[in-house]
Structure 1
């Protein structure tokens, strides 16, 4: 391939990725879900790298707007979901401070497009993780405490019609997240065997266990730590890491109230405002 031809191909890819970012940006701005972006990203071996480039374009815009990064979320930690999307690896997205919802608070109607919820283990770090390859011991030493969490995922892609490239480009379908308020040291809880129950107004809607998250929530966090170092954006002291779902995701509707309980970590709750009558 000549230099001119490669330059033309690179330019065409940049244009396509800019278009994909623009499609997602418009969905955020208008509150109307958009068509999938996989047609713009492609299906080759480099599709994941291209999808993360779209995510990075959106991230740069958010940071330029003054939004504050506070950590990362990990997705696709369930082998069943990985098989569904035809991948063998998790994905990640950025957490921003304005995505955080206080425990027990209500998410306003219309704040999200197509919300779904899942219960997770959150880790909060008190050391940087900058080694090329970390061990579980490194991760345990760097973790200040764990908290129960509800992640409210939200796809900007219409009808959740997603492939791995769509969700990665769309910041791993990040929406909002809620953390419990009673920190627990890792030495005081067995995250692998911790059972989870998610209820909607007292009715059980999802159950799971820590081992459902890549065999152990720390395995997911370890994958993220190593991945971000390779990308030159390591996890830092103070970061929050949402390690991935412990059970099936739940569709939510206006007026719902969800409460998750994770053995050894306690509970966390979030409400969804009813739609206003017009």
Structure 2
């Protein structure tokens, strides 16, 4: 049994026991991102079954504010499972998570496959058939952000706990995703705002980044999969009874009620 398999089993056991996130990478593996993604692959197979393709991917830590919050200076990727995608307006219960947070994003649905060259080109939106405002659900299991490291976070599937997708807009009608204002409301009141350009300069750059990342690992995006491009405003941890709405210029709002 490999170190990656053992580490993935330990993560799965922690989730079953609803324990706090206190992961330390095995000796000599603390900075080994290839190992971290090997663990993630093993964990995903344990959760979803090896024959089940991902329903999509989340790209995390794509803005300076999110990287500062987590103390990590590079983007990360996690898998989104089909049974964790919720259409807006959605309702989720905090009791189903150890500590539930939401991240306010733009999500892209893949319409046609990429080649390696496509991921590095300027026409990546040509591979997208739908765009929406979205909430990524994350479960940080009460992690100590002062001790957070990229490899254990990646190994734990980048904390992805689901995706709430707003009503879609056809990508054919979207010229650019730069400089779009995003506004987050809680119970009707504005609590934060940001710009889509904070996401690696353009959410399209985040999509290109994940295309290249998957290609290095012998994987690829396929039509129908979602890519959540990164939080325009920092994570908000939620409480029962709250309602959230995220508006992005040119897109219908995504709405979420917390039970």
TM-score of the pair, normalised by structure 1: 0.84
In 1, distance between residues paired with 2:142 and 2:28? 14
Give CA deviations for 1:107-137 in whole Å, capped at 9, x if unaligned.
1342111111111111111101132452444
Structure 1 match to 2:74: 89
- Say which structure, 1 or 2, has more relative contact order (CA 8 Å, 6+ apart): 2
Report the structure number with the largest CA radius of gyration: 1
In 1, distance between residues paired with 2:172 and 2:138? 26
In 1, distance between residues paired with 2:182 and 2:194? 5
Unmatched segments (≥5 aa) in structure 1: 1-10, 274-278
Is 2:170 aligned against 1:150? no
Pairwise CA distance, 1:157: 6.1
Change (3 A) 1:132 1:65: closer
Change (3 A) 1:188 1:158: closer
Question: Retained in 2: the 8 A contact 1:116–1:251?
Answer: yes
Unmatched segments (≥5 aa) in structure 2: none
Question: Retained in 2: the 8 A contact 1:117–1:151?
Answer: yes
RMSD: 2.3
Question: Retained in 2: the 8 A contact 1:129–1:225?
Answer: yes
Pairwise CA distance, 1:83: 5.5
In 2, distance between residues paired with 1:155 and 1:118? 12
How many residues align? The count is 258
Structure 2 match to 1:206: 192
Change (3 A) 1:181 1:51: same
Question: Retained in 1: the 8 A contact 2:88–2:167?
Answer: yes
Q: What is the correspondence of 1:20-39 to structure 2 with a 5 Å cutoff?
A: 20-39=7-26
Question: Retained in 1: the 8 A contact 2:87–2:164?
Answer: yes
- The runs of at least 4 aligned residues of structure 1 exceeding 4 Å deviation read 65-68, 83-88
Question: Retained in 2: the 8 A contact 1:197–1:208?
Answer: yes
Change (3 A) 1:33 1:83: closer
In 1, distance between residues paired with 2:192 and 2:237? 11
